Every structure is written in C-alpha cells, then in structure tokens.
Amino acid sequence: MLKLDNHLSGRHFLHIPGPSPVPSRILRAISYQTIDHRGPEFGEFGLKVLDGIKKIFKTEQPVIIYSASGTGSWEGALVNVLNTGDKVLFYETGHFANLWRALAKRIGIEVEVVGKAGQDTWRWGVDASVIEERLRKDTQHEIKAVCVVHNETSTGMTSNIAAVRKAIDDAKHPALLLVDSVSGLGSADYCHDTWGADVTVSGSQKGLMLPPGIGFNALSPKAIEASKRSTIPKAYLAWDEILESNKTGYWPTTPSTNLMYGLHEAIDMMQTEGLDTIFARHQRLAEACRRAVAAWGLENQCLDATAYSPVLTAIVVPEGMDADVLRKHALEKFNLSLGTGLGKLKGKIFRIGHLGDCNELSLMAALSGVEMSLGAMGYKPKASGVVAAQDYLK
C-alpha cells in the first residue's frame, strides 16, 4: 500500500510554488464516491462549479474546465483561437514563459519573443511599453496574439496585465491577449474581464489548493469568436462541444469528477474567506518572506519592486553555494520542500512558495528551515531572517 506520506516523522512542509499543500477539507472532498457524470445529480453540481469558478476568475464569460494539466490548458488556449502559422508575440519573464512559447512553436505557431530592454528579462515584470512598441510596428497585424505570464513561477514576478491590455489598445492592435495565470489565480488578484484578457489559462494545484489534474481556459467573447475560425486540428481541447454541453452542467467527455468535487470545495472555502482577504494574506506573507531574504543579505531574483510576487519568492544563493544542495538539506533534515531553480537558474536560486493554504506559522516554519539550512551550508546571514519576518508579522 501507498506509504508516501510516511517517510519522515511529523508534517511535511511543502513550500514549493505548487503544487501547494492541499487542505484536508479538499482531500476529503475528492474522496467522495464517484457518481454518474450523466446522471441528474451531476448536472446540478456541474452548473454550480461552472458558476463558482467564474467568480474566482472575476469573469461573466464561460470558463472551460479541462481534465488536463496547465500544459494542456496552455495548448487549449492556443489551438482554439489560432491557425497554423499564425504569429504570436511572447513576452519572456522566465522559464514558464519559455515553455509556453516552445509549446506554441511545437504546434506550428510562429513565435516572436520580446523582453525587458537592456536588462535581464528574467528579473523584471512585463514592460508593457515593449509590447506596445512592437505592436505599433506590426501595421499589417500579422501578430495574432500576445502571450504573457501573469505570475511567473520560475522567477517570482507578478506582472501588470491591465497595462498589457492598455498597451495593445493604445497600439490599436487587434491581437488577442492570452494570459497564463496558472500560479497567480486565487493567490494574486486577477480580473479576467476588467483587465481585458481574451484567454486566461490556469491550473488547479496552486492558489486553488487542489491536486494537479484540472486546468482552465477563461474566455472572452472575442476569443470565442476567434475559436469559430480556428483551423488547427483539435478535439479533446476544443471549446465548442464543451461550451455546448456546459450549458446544462455536463461535459461532452468524461470529466474528472473527483477533482471537481475538490474544486467545488475550494471555491466554497475561497468564497468563505473572501478573495480580498486571501490576496491580502498572500501579500503579507510575501512581504514577510522578503524581509527575511533581506535580513539574510540575499538577493531577490525579482529586481522589480512593482512585480514582487505574492505567490512565491525566488532567492539567489551566494556565489559558490549550490541552491540544490541547500534544498536537499532542507528536505532531508527538515522535511521541507523548496522549489528548484529552473532553466538557466538551476542551482543559482531556490524558491519559497507561500501560496494557497499557507498561514503565518507555516511560512515561519519554512523560513526557519531555510535559515538553518543556510547555516548548514556555511553561510553566515547578516541577521536572522526569521526574526525580521516576525517583526513584520507580529
């Protein structure tokens, strides 16, 4: 039998930037007996979930729920609104922006990359003026969509999506705005409608506090229009039949019933706590974490104070230290999981997730584990990060 959660005594402290720890309420919800997804009970349940998820995206438009990971949902966003050979502008903020771009390329999209001018683009939030400038030059409107990452999980940066929308509008460009908020949704404020996103991609295992396995595409009327003209071959990820079926609370294919039980519970929990309270909690925990980083004398991967992420903090380790050795120590000695450096940041940073079902003392435990692990690496912090965080939180 499964013995996974048994390898070390006591609680595991899962502080990677997703999957985030799943609350026991949600774990219990996904353990309800599976029901007939064609039965009368399911339709009622489906409508409730479809309605609830809109509130989390702050949208009045339909939200597609995929039985797929965030990657599948990335693909869904692209294949439904684009045609083979379309050009798409990707703004690079880190590893996940790159992965999405690579996926686009793989399915036959022509991609163009922009980033922060004259800077390490992995350390700054999206500079909307770069997008505006590029779109103004695209007088033929060859660019069909702009893809940006709301919260870049690899570098700990949250970008201003409303500013990107404004840039597109100011450039009087018809490009669709496709946003990845896989790790932002539910932890950082997100307004699909008022910010003018056309497709927002998200996943279950971050701010929604669910296990992985469910993904989302929140749509706009313009995106739905575009989907009617899209010719990339697709079936499982196609919106049309899902939108049709969803009207009565059902899905054209078998939905991931038990994860949807969890989604139902998560929405209930989030509405009970209140989205604003949730976002304020994340901001507070993130600031506490940054205070600790500063006290340690370490550098935040994000150099852009307007883009500090409420979801996670990526921390640059001192020259000569291998971030993954630190992470291994934290895991083996303190039962603490930290995020690794991705792509070119491998070994150079580690990431602390403070998202989802996280509170003050969970964060303090994580910071304490990091502080002790830094010490074990031979690093002498300027001051106690734990004390600095406490000074802020108390």
Question: Which residues participate in the annotated binding site?
Answer: 351
Which of 20/61 has CB closer to its own copies? Answer: 20
Q: Is 254 in the site for its own copies (CB under 8 A)?
A: yes
Residue ranges for the binding site for substrate? 351
Q: State how beta strands 13-15 and 336-338 pair.
A: parallel
Options 55, 58, 87, 107; binder of its own copies; rule CB under 8 A? 107
80 sits near its own copies (criterion: CB under 8 A): no
Q: 294-323: which residues touch its own copies (CB under 8 A)?
A: none
Of the residues 9, 229, 276, 319, which one makes contact with its own copies according to CB under 8 A: 9
Which residues, 353 to 372, sit near its own copies by CB under 8 A? 357-362, 364-366, 368-369, 371-372
Which of 139/254 has CB closer to its own copies? 254
Q: How many chain residues interact with its own copies (CB under 8 A)?
A: 109
Tell which one of 57, 308, 334, 350 touches its own copies (CB under 8 A).
Answer: 334
Rank residues 222 and 234 by Cβ distance to its own copies and give the closer one: 234
CA pair distance 324, 326, nearest whole angstrom: 5
Identify whether the C-beta of residue 298 lies closer than 8 Å to the C-beta of residue 317.
Answer: yes
- Is 149 one of the binding residues for its own copies (CB under 8 A)? no
Q: Kindly state whether residue 283 participates in binding its own copies, applying the rule CB under 8 A.
A: no
Which residue's CB is nearer to its own copies, number 58 or number 281?
Answer: 281
Cβ closest to its own copies, residue 283 vs residue 390: 390
If the CB atoms of residues 250 and 303 are measured against its own copies, the closer one turns out to be 250
Indicate the length of the chain as a whole number.
394
Query: Any bridge partners for residue 65, and if so which?
Result: 216
Question: Contact between 92 and its own copies (CB under 8 A)?
Answer: no
State residue 365 phi and psi, 5-degree precision: -60, -45
Among 259, 289, 293, 326, binds its own copies (CB under 8 A): 259
Of 21-50, binders to its own copies (CB under 8 A) are 21-25, 27-41, 45
